[in-house]
Amino acid sequence: MPSSKAPGDRVRDGSCGVPDARVARGPGVRGPGVGGLRSGGLSRLMPFHRLRSDNGSASLEFITTGLILLVPLVYLVLAMSALQGGALAVEGAARQAARVYVRAPSEAVGEERAQRAVDVALADYGLASGDAQVTIDCASAVGGCLTRRTAVTVTVRLRVPLPLVPDVLGLAGTASVPLESNATQTVSRFWQAGTGP
């Protein structure tokens, strides 16, 4: 008697009702094996969220951001150190220059000693004294600066260059900070011309 089974109907072979794989498999459907990996086997072996994992990128972003922030921070520390050293140098130079001036035997000798004191004070901080401007003021004096009980004010001006600035196209002179300091000393009441130390 001819069979009335339609194509695609399940065929039982008497082994506990297991469908015949050859009949259940339609045209164009590949079985397990290498071909099965192309139709979804890869996604079963490796989940999609693991394919797009960003593990390790946080450390790279931290290093990049740290370097970007570290460079200007280091330069800021260097610039502040240079300016602080320049401020201390100018202050010490003005103070020493005023002290030696009021103890000089004459104004000419006092100016020479004041300039020498400024050179030594700036050299201690590694600064060039050639760019320093020294001004000695005693406007209230009648007979000159070196008269008894006369207040002498010494002003020192200096431009401190910023670190790591190349001397190209005058950038070193432009990228500098002007510093100024003054100190006042009074001539002793026992001072006499030509008797200073």
Confidence (pLDDT) at 84:
94
Counting as low any pLDDT under 50, the low residues of the chain are 1, 8-16, 18-26, 28-29, 31, 33-37, 39, 42-43, 45, 48, 51
Residue with tokens 């469908």: 19
Confidence (pLDDT) at 147:
87
Q: What is the 3-state secondary structure (H, E, C) of 32-100?
A: CCHHHHHHHHHHHHCCHHHHCCCCCHHHHHHHHHHHHHHHHHHHHHHHHHHHHHHHHHHHHHHHHHHHH
Predicted confidence (pLDDT) per residue in 102-123, tens digit: 999 999 999 999 999 999 999 9
CA–CA gap between residue 174 and residue 172 (Å, rounded)? 6
Confidence (pLDDT) at 54:
55
CA–CA gap between residue 49 and residue 93 (Å, rounded)? 69
Nearest to 160 by CA among 122, 109, 112, 117: 122
- Which pTM was predicted? 0.62
**Domain ranges (residues) in the chain:** 57-186
Confidence (pLDDT) at 91:
95
Confidence (pLDDT) at 24:
46
CA–CA gap between residue 180 and residue 94 (Å, rounded)? 9
